[in-house]
Each structure stands twice: as C-alpha cells, then as structure tokens.
Amino acid sequence: MLHNITGIDHVLVGVEKLEDARATYEKLGFTPTPRGSHIGWGTANYCIMFDEDYIELLGIVDPSLETNGLDVALAERGEGLLGVALASDDPEAAHQSLTEDGLEPSEMLTLKRKLELPDGDVLPEFTLIRLTSSAGLTAKNLFICHHLTPELVRQPDWISHPNGAKYINSVVVVVENPGNLAPYYQRLCGSINVTLTDNTLTVRFGRGSLIFVNDRDIDLLFPGLTIADEMPALPHLIAMTIAVDDLDQTAELLTKNGIAPQKIANGTLRVNPAKACGLLLEFTAG
C-alpha cells in the first residue's frame, strides 16, 4: 500500500463512564486490557487487542485536566466512534512520502501513556502523524499510529476473546458526498484499494475497510436499521464491524449475557448502539 500504510491500527470509542464501558464490552464478549492513562491529561482508556489492530475505549477520569476535546465531543455528539488510526511500519518514510505527494501531514509526534500492570506501570510509546488534509475526516478523526513498544501493549492473554473476535472488519462513516472523497483516498492508499459503487466509497486498508456513505443511503448498507435520533453533524462515524471465528458461538454468548443481537439476512449479528456505548456494532464471519 502507498505511503507505508499497512492497515487499520485502532479505532477510538468515546465513552461517558470508562469503568461502565469496560463492563459493557466484557458483556459483549471482549477481553479488555488493564487500564491506561494519558500522561498529563485527564483521559484514560481500556483497549481491546487483536493480532494486528484494536479498539480503544476512551473516557475522562479527571475533568480538571486537558481532555483533547473529548469533553466537547461527548457533550455535542454523545458516546460513540471518535476516529480511526491507520498503521504504518515506517513512520519516517510515511511522513516523507506524504509530504512529497502534497498530502500535508502534521509533524511527527512521539507520545507516551501509562499502562497499569499488576507488576507495576509501564510506558508504551507511539509515533503519530495527523492527516491534516484528510478528505471527509478531520485531523482528529484520521491519523497514522506507529508502535515503538508493541510488546507492552499486545500480550497473549489480551488477544483471546470469548466472543471469538479476530479483527476490525470495517468502520462506516456518514458524509455528505462519498464520491467526492475518492481522489484523496486514491492518492493516500492507491486506486486498487478504493471502490466507488452507487455513491458508497470503500477504502481498503489491509484486511479492514473504511466505508463512506451518505445519510440518504445508510439504509442500503444497513437494511432494517432504524435511527431513532437525528443524525449528528457530518462527518459521523456510525458503525464498526468485527470479524469473529464462529457467528453461532458469538450469538450464543451474547444471548447468554442478556444481549439479544439482531440477525441480518447475510448472517451478520447487529447489536443496538445502546448496548455498545453509542456505536452500531456488528459481528461478521471472519
């Protein structure tokens, strides 16, 4: 893939009460990591790790400190998807090629966070590149993340999930005109990874995808979906699909835990956003 982008690194989910969100995702059959916190900020997280990507549940634990806009996002939009981080195996090369291609990346940022392990805290490190001209999404919505200490954040016990989850299959974003975004993403990751069908734009990143759809066609992508509330201001990251080993086993676990998933005609399992911290969560065969 162009610009040393190798796939989806992680997806961020903003939550009102972090400990409640951890319990919610455990009920959904995921295995959260120990809690992490952002040094000098009032935010903390729990991560749900897979082999190559992960979900980050992000909440405010000290509102007197900097929240990087999470307080505003929760107040204006409620809980749900905040953004997508793309993975890179060589951030220096990625930054250089993005700059040469006129895609206006931010400066490279090195960040640390504290991870609270039973044997003592550790400090995972990351390199971030914000895609400041990313079409259809803001620099906070879409960025590149490279792990400098992957061994600290991905341990064997953390990547085994009772629901059989394996990886992030797709993230769906509602925008005004998906077709207008195609040229940007063709430059970002190559035309071979970009498909425009009936004004739905699918951008492939490794084995995961970003899917852009407009609010008028959302029912074509999610048959039978009823959106009770008014759509937030666009762009709106609305849904995530997780690939699992065995849909029947996933359905059995969810039902056992008091979550009655809706079974779609193609076999996909859909969980109501009220049961998944504000995002439309689906499980599909992986």
Domain ranges of the chain: 2-158, 164-285
The answer to whether the beta carbons of residues 93 and 47 sit under 8 Å apart is no
Alpha helices by DSSP H, the chain: 18-27, 70-77, 91-100, 150-153, 182-189, 218-221, 247-256
d(CA 238, CA 191): 25
pLDDT of residue 218: 86
Tokens at residue 206, please? Answer: 């490794």
The reply to whether domains 2-158 and 164-285 share a CATH topology is: yes
Per-residue pLDDT of the chain (286 residues; tens, 9 = 90+): 789 999 999 999 999 999 999 999 999 999 999 999 999 899 999 999 999 999 999 999 999 999 999 999 999 999 999 999 999 999 999 999 999 999 999 999 999 999 999 889 999 999 999 998 778 898 888 999 999 999 999 999 999 999 999 999 999 999 999 999 999 999 999 999 999 998 899 999 999 999 999 988 888 888 777 665 578 889 999 999 999 999 999 999 999 999 999 999 788 999 999 999 999 999 999 8
Host H or E run for residue 12 = strand 5-14
Q: The dihedral of CA 158, 33, 165, 154: what is its sign?
A: negative
**Residues 91, 56 contacting (CB under 8 angstroms):** no
pTM: 0.96
Out of 3.20.20.140, 3.40.1440.10, 3.90.1720.10, 3.10.180.10, which CATH number does the structure's domain 2-158 have?
3.10.180.10
Which DSSP state fits 30?
Answer: -
Structural tokens at position 178 = 């998906």
Q: CATH classification of 164-285, choosing from 3.40.1390.10, 3.40.50.9100, 3.40.50.720, 3.10.180.10?
A: 3.10.180.10
| Vertex 115: Cα angle to 205 and 209 (nearest 5) | 10
